[in-house]
Structures are given as structure tokens and as C-alpha cells.
Structure 1
Amino acid sequence: MTARGLIIGAPRSGSGKTSVTIGILRALSRRGLAMRGAKSGPDYIDPGFHAAATGVPGVNLDSWAMPPALLNGLAAKAADGADCVVVESAMGLFDGIPGEKGRSGSAADLARLYGLPVILVLDVSGQSQTAAALAKGFATYDPGVRIAGVILNRLGSERHKRLAGDAIEALGIPVVGAILRDPSLTLPERHLGLVQAAEHADLMAHLDRLADMAERSLDLDRILSLAVPFAPPVTDMSAALPPPGQRIALASDAAFTFLYPHVAQHWRTAGAEIVPFSPLADEAPRDDCDVCWLPGGYPELHAGRLAAAEKFRAGMHGFAAKRAVHGECGGFMVLGEVLQDAGGENHRMLGLLGHSTSFAERKMNLGYRRASLLADCALGRLGSEIRGHEFHYARMTDAGADEKFADLADGEGRELGAFGGRRGYVTGTFFHAIARG
């Protein structure tokens, strides 16, 4: 069976791409099709919704952070056994960073690379015929990116639909969906984007509402007909992050949630065992593990409980005395001395590294990162290059006196300096590792 594929894109974030993508995935899964969701770029929240809608893991396809062989390998795995792969664009369709051709991180890179057509979601609130100008701009901007259809979102009335839709169809671009404004379809958000799929008490009910919307408002048969064969070359996965150990103790609960699906999948494929534990339940990493990984998440929302988790604290200190511990973003914050929450209250953290962080005065830090490791560690050997992404609102209030973890540059190669911390077997950094450079 050869999978088919398409991209759901938009002019910007907030246009409704995620709701449309989830609605399509869920509606067609309910029809019995083997659907698979993918997300362009480094967003680690949306793949969780794709997985919930389809029953199979989501995946990130990041043309900047992933070398071409790894990108192809992950795309091929996504297509394997699927009837259709729906790739959701991050931000706007062409949004990425300047640099090497085809490696901007944008969804447009994937459209060119795999010849995938784009269904453009246009939020037409506050406009009518002007939507046709947007559609025409997208259709002519890059000859390597084909706009195959348009979905009109947040329409106010049938007249609104007719005015915008007729103007677009006059350009020869089919309108394959028209969605009236409906606040009940909006997914809740917080400071790092959408509230995660696992946190929705009525998740499946909401997914089914989106699927009902898709059945009602989209021409699903036509959308399927626009998808094209999607058969990326099967390549090696040598650029994937290797397992940091044979048995990996992974912090996993509402405070520690951000681990890229492809990272965990590769660890398991390579023969490693992942052993989850919950710091919020005052659990420590199992003693038969040989490495402990604290992923990102929302420790600032649970700082009081983490500070009171004495078994977790004692277990982490015992573990770190003999074996490797690594923390990313939120995990890095918990490894430090103090975490100040949004209300300005200080909470004692693990103290395995010497820094302190604050969420009281938020400042967004966002962007791709290239890291050159300054010592052997859970991520690799001294001098190895790791590509990743940083997205957080915390700031460092005390850098501590630990050795630095890595020399960092941004996605365009501008040097940022040495960041993160390492002490004994413990390392940590704000950036999330995606792949080897």
C-alpha cells in the first residue's frame, strides 16, 4: 500500500490549522482509514493531538533540525502502513529561518521536497473578497509549492462564505471547506501554546466535535482526492539521538511532558528500555536504571509539590552520585537551586546544579539552537553537534558556578556563548535536543 499525503498550511499561527487537521484526522479515522499526523518544525504539543485523533504516534518533520537522511527516514516511517499522512504546518506556511536551501524548518520545505499539495486555511474574519488576494499570493509566491485548495475559517454567515468563496474560486483555486465561527471548537491554550492532549478530561469528546465539524463543513472526499502518493526514501537513522543508556528513567507526569515522539521511538528501536516515574507522585528513578532524563514541561505550575517531594529529592541525589542525569528546559529548572513561580514565591529545587530560575517576570526565549558539547554527557561525546530548539518564558536569576554544558549558536550560526550546566554526572540546558547535527 502506498500512502498519500498533503499539507495543511496557513498564513500565520492562530488561523485554525490545528483544529482543521485534528478534525480531518479524526473524521477519516472514524471512517476506517489509517490516518497519520505529522507536524512541521519543532512543536512538541500538536503531535500529541494527532496521536489521540488517529490512535498512532505523531511525528515531527523538521527540515532544519533533522539532516535529510533522518527527515526522510521519519517521513517514511510515518507513511508506512498509512492510507494518508496529513502534515500540519507550524506558524505560516513559508515561515522558517534563512540559510541552506531546503533547510529552513518551514512546511514549504516539505511541500517542495515531497511534492505534497497544500490545503490553505484562511481565517476570513474581518474580510471577504480580500481573502482571494491572499490565496493568489500564496498560489504564485513559490512555483515549487502548490496550493491545491482553500478552507475558509471563522465565517460569519452564508453571505460571507459566498463573497469570499466565489472570489477565490474565480482564480481557479477550489474551496474545499467553509467553517462558521464556533467558539466551542477552540482548543484551550497557555503560555507555551495549546494545553496538551493528555490534560483534557474530555479529550475524545472534543476530538469528536472537531470530527463532526469536519464532516459537516469540509468536503472530505475532495480533500482526500487532492492528496498525492507519499513514499519518502527509506534511509538510515544515524543522525537520531542515540539512547543515553540501556535503561532510561524518564520523569513523566504533568510537570514533565515534552519529549519528542521520534526521540523516544528511536531509543526503543535501538533496544533501550524507558522506565517512567512521577516526581509529582514523589517517586524516584528506579535504581536499576543507568541514566535519568528530566524532560521539559510545566514545573512552574507544580513547583510547590516538587519542592515537597522528599523521596524524589533523595532518590535523585542518590542516583546522580553514580549515574548520568540530564535535564531539558523544565527539567533543567528543576535541577537547579530555586524556581520562582509566577506569583513570585521561591521553591527549593533539587540543587544538583547551581543555577536559579524565575517565572515571575516572563520573557520569551524562542529559536533553533546548535550546540557543541563541552564534555562527554548523556547527549553525546565532547565536541558533538546537537541541533535543537529553545522555547520558554523562564529567565535565569543566578547562573551558578557550574561548568557550562555547551557552546550555543542560533539557527543562522550566530554565536550565543556557553550555556547550561554540568557538575559530576549531572548536565542540563534550556534547549530541547532534536537530532545530531
Structure 2
Amino acid sequence: MSLPPGLLISAPASGTGKTTLMLGLLRALTRAGAQVQPFKSGPDYIDPGFHGAACGRASVNLDSWAMRPGLLHRLIAACDGADLALAEGSMGLFDGVACPGESGTGASADIAALTGWPVVLVLDVSGQAQSAAAVARGFAAMRPDVALAGVVLNRVASPRHEALVRAGMQAAGIEVLGALPRLASIEMPNRHLGLVQAEEHAALDDILNAAADFIAQNMDLPRIIAAARPTGITAPNATRTAPPPGQRVALARDAAFSFVYPHLLESWRAAGAEILPFSPLADQAPDGSADACWLPGGYPELHAGRLAAATRFRAGLQDFARTRPVHGECGGYMAMGTALIDKDGARHEMAGLLGLVTSFAKRKMHLGYRLARLHSALPGHAPGSRLRGHEFHYSTILDQPDAPLAEVTDANGAAVPETGSRRGNATGTFFHMIAEAT
């Protein structure tokens, strides 16, 4: 096994420019002939899709709160054979939860410490000059096990502004790896859950090329590559893979149901399971030869009318659930319910496997890590199993008459009312599973 050196792109806070730098570097380095393996720190379905589009290699999620060290090591080994590993952090570098999980608090700094990858810190320097060096110096000193490769100055207003910020960095002993002027044309479009999915963006390739041009013009790419350090694991530790829901798994997969972590699908396949995709939006029913059905999260609220009109899908799912298990996560859970009310207040009938009624007419954010102890089995996991995952949606529960599926708490141990539910062979949760808990 030959693991390449790596870097982690992070920042003091969200909205500072991490994603623009990450995508620009991925595309620019790939165009230059490098094989770059992307990673994403934390629970995120959207950014990895853009990473893959930028460089042609599937991005891998790394999560220190939800994943055991052995699983993290196995996933980091995805960079085997690449020239460079490049990870994008989430939120601020040291932002995580108060109570550690399997391998840390979920902070991007945990991944930097585990791998030995130095941090490229993106600083929004608008509205400040030499004072930015104090921020950088504080980040450099915060954790002895996390190294700072240098900073990228973002949203620089003028050459004079850049010179002042650089002077402050030089006095503080902080290396400046690049300076990026304001450029709104390559900012990614947003949706209520974050970035629009990569496959939905018609002009994505043009945006990625523009980002690459922008980064190549304003940064010294050889210096970036030289700042990388060896990956601190030599081989993946042995770790139990996640058990599959069944031997043959019907998996909903289209624009409404796309949020499933690749490492889970890999684990299912490694255990010998066969995955049989189908599209509810194309009015397809789950494969009749499957022995379990899984509906991932996504954006069912954007396609509620089509799902309500997909009579073959709904009838097929109902027939499947009479004899075999069906499980849904978040959007899949909503689609298994009785009805979904969209943002305009229109009611759409769903599959009716569960009594759940959800509404987007009154939005309320539900966000955070989740630890669940199952009261009843869900496909692949026995009663009493403990699962780690995360919840991120804006729907409100209007009715949930079925038995609770699990006892669910947040990362601090506080009870969460979204317990999931079960009825017959149907189960569903609002949290997305990441891994089994110890």
C-alpha cells in the first residue's frame, strides 16, 4: 500500500471560502495531471458530489464522532495510489460537539491529527489587515497535534490590502500560500439544506473550470503540493463492516432519494450483498427478488407531486412490505408515511406504510448528531443495537401514530423526540446512519 501525502482545507468558520478553494484545487491539480483523492470531514452528502465532479475520484466522508478508528483508517486508505490526499473540513477547524464520540468530537482538527495532514487555513480578511495574523497564530497554537501549513487570504480588496495582511503574517511567522480577490461568479448556488446537488447543476463543469483558473492564477500550486505531509497511517486496521439489510437489497436511487453514504454501500457489498437500484420518480417498484428495501434521504418535498402520482411505485412498495422489511431514512421515511405537505401547504399522499404526516409549510431546522438504541429491529440491525448518525431537515411532524423505533439522543445525551417509527415490516428514522456504535 502506498499512501500519498495530504492536506486538510479548513477555516475559522463556515462561509469563509473552503469549498471554492477545495474545488478549484481539485480541478486545477487534476488538469495538471495529478491524481488527487478527495475527502470530506463530517456528515455531508452534498460536497462529496462536487469533489468527485471536480477530480474524477469518489470523495470519502471521515467523521471522528461517529466512526471508530478502524473504520477511519480503512476509509483513509482510499487514497492508496493517488498523488495527493485533499480533505475539506466542515464549519471551523476546531468546531465539534462537547462530548466525544468514537474517535473525537467531530471536529475537522481530529482528522488532521489522525492523519498528520497539515491544515491550509482559509481566512476571510475582508474588514481587517494585520489583525488577521492574530487569528492565524491562535489557530496554529490551539492544538499541538495539529500542524498549520499556512493560510490562504480570501476576499482581498486591493494590492495595498494584501500587502498589509502579508506584513502581519510575516511578523507572526505564518506562511501565506495564496491571496484570492473577491470573485462572486464561482460561488455555488444554495438550497435550504446547503449546496444544490452536483448532478442538478447544468453549468457545473464551467464553474469548476472557472474555479480552477481562479485558484491557479492566485496561488502557487507547487507550494501547495510541497506543503503536504505523509499520511500517518500505514495500513487500514481491521474493522467490522456494517451488516447489509439483506442479501439482495432494493435501493431507491434518483433525484429524490440520493443521500446514502458510499462507505455503507461498500460495506454491504463487502458482506456479499447485491444492490438493486430502482427509481420511485420513474414510477419503478422495488425488485421483487430483493429480500429488503432501503429508501435513503434526499429531497422528496421537491418531488412530492410526482411521488404521489407514482402509483406503480407506491403499490409495489406496499406489496413488498407485506412480506419483507422496508426501511427509510429522513426523506425516505417521509415517503413511507401517509402524507407530505409541501411548502405551499398542498397535501400529497405518500406510500402509507407508516402513519407519519410531515409538513414543510412551517419550517423548523433539526440538525445534529444522533445516537440511537433500537427498540425493534431495522434491516441489518437487531433490537438493542446502537447506531450513530446525524439529522438534518426542516420538516415538522404533524402526526406519528406508530410505535417508536428507537430511543434517540443528541451528542450531549439529551433525548430527541424524533424517535423514528415502525409498523409491521416498515421502519423509518429521521436520522441518517453513519456507523454502528461501540
CA distance in 2, matches of 1:128, 1:39: 30
Confirm or deny: 8 A CA contact 1:36 1:50 kept in the other structure. Answer: no
**Equivalent residue, structure 2, for 1:404:** 404
Seen in structure 2, the aligned counterparts of structure 1 residues 269 and 31 have a Cα distance that, compared at 3 Å, is farther
Does the residue aligned with 2:307 lie in a helix, a strand or coil?
helix
Do the aligned partners of residues 46 and 418 (structure 1) sit closer, same or farther apart at CA in structure 2, a change above 3 Å counting? Answer: closer
1:255-294 matched pairs, under 5 angstroms: 255-294=256-295
More deviation in 60-69 or 205-214?
Answer: 205-214
Where do residues 94-105 of structure 1 align in structure 2 (5 Å cutoff)?
Answer: 94-100=94-100, 102-105=103-106
Alignment of structure 1 residues 288-303 onto 2, 5 Å: 288-303=289-304
Are the counterparts in 2 of residues 405 and 418 from structure 1 also a CA contact under 8 Å?
Answer: no
Match for residue 385 of structure 1? 386
TM-score by length of 2: 0.96
Q: Which amino acid in the other structure matches residue 242 of structure 1?
A: P
Give SS of 1:415's match.
coil
Aligned partner of 1:314 in structure 2 is 315
Native 8 Å contact 1:122 1:150 kept in 2: yes
Percent sequence identity over aligned pairs: 55
The answer to whether the 8 A contact 2:118-2:229 is kept is yes
Determine helix, strand or coil for the equivalent of 1:170. Answer: helix
- Give the counterpart letter for 1:408 in structure 2: V
Separation in 1 of the partners of 2:421 and 2:12? Answer: 39
Distance 1:231 1:100 in 2: 22
Please name the residue that 1:54 is paired with: 55
1:249 partner SS: strand
| Cα distance in 2 between the residues matched to 1:89 and 1:416 | 27
The residue that corresponds to 2:220 in the other structure is 219
Amino acid of the residue matched to residue 275 of structure 2? Answer: I
Alignment of 1:351-370 (within 5 A): 351-370=352-371
Deviation (angstroms), 1:236: 2.0
Q: Distance in 2 between matches of 1:371 and 1:250?
A: 22
How many angstroms apart in 2 are the aligned matches of 1:55 and 1:247? 29
Matched residues in 2 for 1:6 and 1:369: separation?
29
Partner of 1:235: 237
Superposed displacement of residue 114, structure 1: 2.1
1:417, distance to aligned residue in structure 2 (A): 5.4
Cross-structure match for 1:327: 328
Once residues 2 and 391 of structure 1 are traced to their aligned partners in structure 2, the CA distance between those partners, rounded to angstroms, is 33
How far apart, in 2, do the equivalents of 1:299 and 1:2 lie? 39
3-state DSSP of counterpart to 1:419: coil
Code of the residue aligned with 1:332 in structure 2: it is Y
**Letter of the structure 2 residue corresponding to residue 385 of structure 1:** R
Q: TM-score, normalised by structure 1?
A: 0.96
Q: Which moved more, 1:228-237 or 1:20-29?
A: 228-237
- Contact kept, 8 Å, 1:420 with 1:428, in 2: the verdict is yes
Cα shift at 1:206? 1.6
Instruction: For 1:231 and 1:83, locate their aligned partners in 2 and report how far apart those are by CA, in whole Å.
Output: 15
Alignment gaps of 5+ in structure 2: none
Q: Greater CA deviation, 265-274 or 425-434?
A: 265-274
Contiguous gaps of at least 5 residues in structure 1: none
Runs of 4+ in 1 over 4 A off after TM superposition: none
Residue matched to 2:414: 414
* Distance in 1 (alpha carbons) for counterparts of 2:281 and 2:216: 40
Cα offset for 1:230?
Answer: 0.8
Matched residue of 2:179: which SS? strand
Cross-structure match for 1:434: 434
Q: Structure 1 residues 36, 72: closer, same or farther in 2, change over 3 A? A: same
- Are the aligned partners of 1:79 and 1:230 in contact in 2 as well (CA < 8 Å)? no
Question: 1 CA distance for matches of 2:275 and 2:373?
Answer: 26
> Is residue 8 of structure 2 the alignment partner of residue 7 of structure 1?
yes
Q: Which amino acid aligns with 1:292?
A: C
The residue type equivalent to 1:407 in the other structure is E
Shift of 1:137: 1.4
Aligned length: 434
Q: SS at 2:92's partner residue? A: coil
- Please list, as runs of the form range in 1=range in 2, the aligned pairs for 1:18-417 lying within 5 A after superposition: 18-76=19-77, 78-100=78-100, 102-232=103-233, 233-238=235-240, 240-400=241-401, 402-416=402-416
Instruction: Verify the 8 A CA contact 1:3 1:231 in the aligned structure 2.
Output: no
Deviation for aligned residue 1:270: 2.5
- Distance in 2, matches of 1:184 and 1:417, equals 42
Alignment partners' CA distance in 2, 1:369 and 1:379? 18
Instruction: Name the Cα RMSD after superposition.
Output: 1.4
- Distance in 1 between the 2:344 and 2:119 partners? 44
Structure 2: which amino acid aligns with 1:122? L
Q: Find the residue that maps to 1:112 and give its secondary structure.
A: helix
Look up the SS of the partner of 2:373 in the other structure: strand
Tell me if structure 1 keeps the 8 A contact 2:248–2:292: yes
> What SS class does the counterpart of residue 414 from structure 1 fall into?
coil
CA distance in 2: counterparts of 1:270 and 1:51, whole angstroms: 25
Say whether the 8 Å CA contact 2:286–2:320 is kept in structure 1: yes
Q: 2:76 is paired with a residue of what secondary structure? A: helix
**Once the 2 structures are TM-superposed, how far is the Cα of residue 205 of structure 1 from its aligned partner?**
1.9
Structure 1 position 418, deviation (Å): 7.0
Distance in 2 separating the partners of 1:108 and 1:231:
14
For residues 228-251 of structure 1, give each alpha carbon's deviation from its aligned partner in whole angstroms, at most 9, with x where no partner exists.
Answer: 11142311231x422111221111
- Check whether the contact 1:150–1:177 (CA below 8 A) recurs between aligned residues: yes
Contact 2:117 2:228 (C-alpha < 8 Å) held by counterparts: yes
